[in-house]
Structure 1
Amino acid sequence: MTTPDHEPTEPQPQSPESEDRVFRSSAGIAGGVLMLAIIGWLGIDALVAGRGRTPWLALAGMLLIVPLVVAFTLRPAVYANAERLRIRNPFRVIVLPWGQISGLRSGYSNEVLDRSGTKYQLWALPVSLRARKRAARQQARAAASGEREASRAVRAGTGGHRAGAFGFGGPGRGAGAGHDGPIRAETDQYMDDLREMQERYENAESAQGEASVRWAYEVIGPAAAGAVVLAILLAVG
């Protein structure tokens, strides 16, 4: 009996999917938690101490309002990995392979466009004009500080070797030393990161496919039920 020259090789485990990078608005999350705390406090008080129809109205109102608050504050998020961009908006979930994305743009809102020209807003990354102005002021101050340092370095360099010995540095320390790049608003920096990921992965074989859109019935259903119950209670009087 002959034996095979080589033993059969065991199948190699598949490489795990790349982990998602999650982009969210910290201000939106904080605001949502605060709003839910206020709604819970008022609603529970109405349920416990209310009389007549008040507890039922409070319950229906909470059933309507709580899903909407969650949808617009805690729910929005953007998940990105080497294969696709997944956008979780208040009422929809959009999955876009990088190969289907034609661009990411920032104006008064942050948006992504697919190859067909359809535009999707990134609710998780709201544009803050105040944050942009603050970042611009910080950038201007950093540039002015760098120019002053360069000017001092040049003056110190003309003082000979003695000035250099005290650590003023040479003329090679130009403006903006110590800064890795321009100062950007938080959501603008997130958009820059997403653009870099698109450029890196858009031609990858694993980043091709069709876009998909799914309605968030887990949000729409409870909110619609609360609206119906509240309308009935108000109509009955």
Structure 2
Amino acid sequence: MLDLAEVRHAYLHPPPDDPKRVLTREELYARYERRRVEGCLRRGGDPRREGLGEHGSLIGGPDKPLTAFGVQPERAGRLQPLPLAWFDYPRARFASPPPGGTDEVHDFFAALAADHLAGMPDRPSGAGLARTFCSARLKGREWSQLWHVFACIRIWDLKRLLSRGGLSVYEVARAIHLSDTCRAEVVTWINQFAVPPGEQGDLAFPEEDTGPSIVNEAS
């Protein structure tokens, strides 16, 4: 349940930017409401008339006009993923191949390319997009391809990068970092797997259980 007192505190006293801290749900609501007020002022609007910020119930209290959102604040705007080192532990590097093996991997990435890169010249094949997702370095076109996929990918397909794409959590996190993706929905999802480096020792797999993704093996 949303803590309204915490939302109001975060709105009036925004926390300093810290790339190594996950924002709370209350902080995300406060940040979104501040952006709405700033946007209103930029276009010459009146926050009081529109019931924004301190003039709406979320921040101003129940005697103010009801605050209503057209989107979920935790899924809107831009967020930074936690540092890549937070995803560099054995369980996050573990990749499980799908039942259909390499063919299923390539079919899955071909569907992603058809969904999100249809208007691009030289659209990659499924195998090509899979290799791009596993790349440690991106060229201009590859960067654009990943950026566009993450900008539009549906959450169920984001999860399927692991189950059907044969990728590890680390590989997905690296692709998000390399493509400069800040889409809140994507970043919120990947951040749930982040573990501070000092706490990763308890998450080790036996050596024989770890391995590269099927994409790397097949490329």
TM-score, with structure 2 as normaliser: 0.25
**Structure number having the greater helix percentage:** 2
**Structure number having the greater strand percentage:** 1
